[in-house]
Amino acid sequence: AIYDAQLFLQWDSSELTTIVDFTDKIVIDVGAGTGKLTFIAAEKAKAVFAVEPVGNLRFYIKEKAKKLGLNNVFPVDGLITDIPFPDKFADICMEGHTFGDNIEVEHKEMERVTKIGGMVIHCPGNNDVDNEIHRLLIAKGYSWSKFEEPGDGMKRKYWKCIG
């Protein structure tokens, strides 16, 4: 797809896989889009629920999973502010370029659906600056590092084990 081919999506998948081991995990990818994070996780995860409000993108993810022979990818309608899963459902809840419109609500919702001992990962697409997103996540105990998003410069990623 044209969107999948965009330069900013060509970052190295190890930026995600060095944070967490997806092996046999239940994963939620919030705001999945065309599934960049979904398909990285699906290589090893038990199940990946690609939460995406846009029907055409859910269809795209479903068809791409079929083409790749993956039977562990499940597109689901939903929003980052209202993730359609029960409390402590997933081992890993992650997002890429989704976080930021209502950061306090979004942060709480992602942590709500993550099991104790599980991991929440944010790749919000924020530039390498100490902005509101950065300050909130650091205040909530998240670790962070920088990575290069091709064509768009240095970005930050954040992660936290839920205790």
Q: How far is CA 149 from CA 2, 9, 91, 103, 128, in A?
A: 17, 7, 26, 22, 11
Q: How far apart, in Å, do the first and last CA atoms of the chain sit?
A: 39
Given this model, what pLDDT does residue 67 score? Answer: 96
C-alpha 66, offset from chain centre: 21
Contact 43, 21 (CB under 8 A): no
pLDDT digits (tens, 9 = 90+) for 19-31: 999 999 999 999 9
Global pTM value: 0.91
CA atoms within 13 A on the CB side of 26: 10
Given this model, what pLDDT does residue 22 score? Answer: 97
Whether domain 7-161 has CATH 3.40.50.150: yes
Report whether pLDDT(9) > 70: no
For residue 124, the 8-state DSSP code is: -
